[in-house]
Amino acid sequence: MQWETVIGLEIHAQLSTQSKIFSASATTFGAEPNTQASLVDLGMPGTLPVLNAEAVRMACKFGLAIDAHIAPHNIFARKNYFYPDLPKGYQTSQMDHPIVGKGHLDISLEDGTVKRIGITRAHLEEDAGKSLHEDFHGMSGIDLNRAGTPLLEIVSEPDIRSAKEAVAYVKAIHALVRYLGICDGNMAEGSLRCDCNVSVRPKGQAEFGTRAEIKNVNSFRFIEKAINHEVQRQIELIEDGGQVVQETRLYDPNKDQTRSMRSKEEANDYRYFPCPDLLPVVIEQSFLDEVRASLPELPVQKRERFEAQFGLSAYDATVLAASREMADYFEAVNSVCGDAKLAANWVMGELSSLLNKDNLEIDQSPVSAEQLGGMILRIKDNTISGKIAKMVFEALAAGEGATADEVIEKKGLKQVTDSGAIEAMLDEVLAANAEQVEQYRASDEAKRGKMFGFFVGQAMKASKGKANPGQVNELLKKKLES
Partner 1 sequence: MSMHELTLRQIASGLANKDFSATELTQSLLARIQAVDPQLNSFITVTEELALSQAKSADERRAAGENGALLGAPIAHKDLFCTRNVLTSCASKILSGFKAPYDATVVEKLAAAGTVTLGKLNMDEFAMGSANESSHFGPVKNPWDLTRVPGGSSGGSAAAVAARLIPAATGTDTGGSIRQPAALTNLTGLKPTYGRVSRWGMIAYASSLDQGGPLARNAEDCALLLQAMAGFDPKDSTSVDQPLDDYLAALSQPLAGLRIGLPREYFGAGLDARIGEKVLGVVEELKKLGATVKEISLPNMQHAIPAYYVIAPAEASSNLSRFDGVRFGYRCENPVNLEDLYKRSRGEGFGTEVKRRIMVGTYALSAGYYDAYYIKAQQIRRLIKNDFVAAFNEVDLIIGPTTPNLAWKIGEKNADPVSAYLEDIYTITANLAGIPGLSMPAGFVDGLPVGVQLLAPYFQEARLLNVAHQYQQVTEWHTQAPTGF
Residues lying near partner 1 in the complex (CB under 8 A): 39, 42-51, 78, 80, 82, 84, 87-90, 142, 269, 271-273, 276-279
Single-letter code of the amino acid located at 213 = E
- 50 vs 424 by CB, closer to partner 1: 50
- 262 vs 410 by CB, closer to partner 1: 262
The candidate with the shortest Cα–Cα distance to 62, out of 219, 19, 54, is 54
Helix (H, G, I), strand (E, B) or coil at 472: helix
Distance CA 304, CA 323 (A): 14
Q: How far is the CB of 117 from partner 1 (least distance, A)?
A: 30
- 48 vs 402 by CB, closer to partner 1: 48
Distance CA 223, CA 28 (A): 26
Distance CA 288, CA 478 (A): 68
- 220 vs 287 by CB, closer to partner 1: 287
Q: How far is the CB of 290 from partner 1 (least distance, A)?
A: 22
Distance CA 37, CA 41 (A): 5
Distance CA 211, CA 7 (A): 9
Q: How far is the CB of 212 from partner 1 (least distance, A)?
A: 21
Distance CA 78, CA 448 (A): 78
- 49 vs 101 by CB, closer to partner 1: 49
Q: How far is the CB of 87 from partner 1 (least distance, A)?
A: 6
Distance CA 158, CA 8 (A): 4
Distance CA 371, CA 361 (A): 17
What are the b/e assignments for 174-213, b being 16+ CB within 10 Å? bbbbbbbebbbbebeebbbbbbbbbbbbeeeeeeebebbb
465: left (phi over 0), alpha (psi -120 to 50) or beta: left
- 271 vs 292 by CB, closer to partner 1: 271
Q: How far is the CB of 49 from partner 1 (least distance, A)?
A: 7
- 146 vs 466 by CB, closer to partner 1: 146
Q: How far is the CB of 294 from partner 1 (least distance, A)?
A: 25
50: left (phi over 0), alpha (psi -120 to 50) or beta: beta
Q: How far is the CB of 47 from partner 1 (least distance, A)?
A: 7
Which residues does residue 151 pair with via DSSP β-bridges, in sequence order?
Answer: 14, 125
Q: How far is the CB of 291 from partner 1 (least distance, A)?
A: 22
- The one-character DSSP state at 72 is S
The candidate with the shortest Cα–Cα distance to 177, out of 196, 153, 160, is 153
- 43 vs 118 by CB, closer to partner 1: 43
Chain centroid offset of residue 254 CA = 24
- 43 vs 366 by CB, closer to partner 1: 43
Counted residue by residue, the chain has a size of 482
Q: How far is the CB of 8 from partner 1 (least distance, A)?
A: 22
Single-letter code of the amino acid located at 38 = S
Asked if 108 and 319 count as a contact pair (C-beta separation under 8 A), the reply is yes
Q: How far is the CB of 21 from partner 1 (least distance, A)?
A: 12
Backbone angles phi, psi at 6, to 5 degrees: -125, 125
Q: How far is the CB of 84 from partner 1 (least distance, A)?
A: 5
- 114 vs 278 by CB, closer to partner 1: 278
Single-letter code of the amino acid located at 84 = P
- 277 vs 358 by CB, closer to partner 1: 277
What are the b/e assignments for 279-293, b being 16+ CB within 10 Å? eebebeeebbeebee
Asked if 468 and 423 count as a contact pair (C-beta separation under 8 A), the reply is no
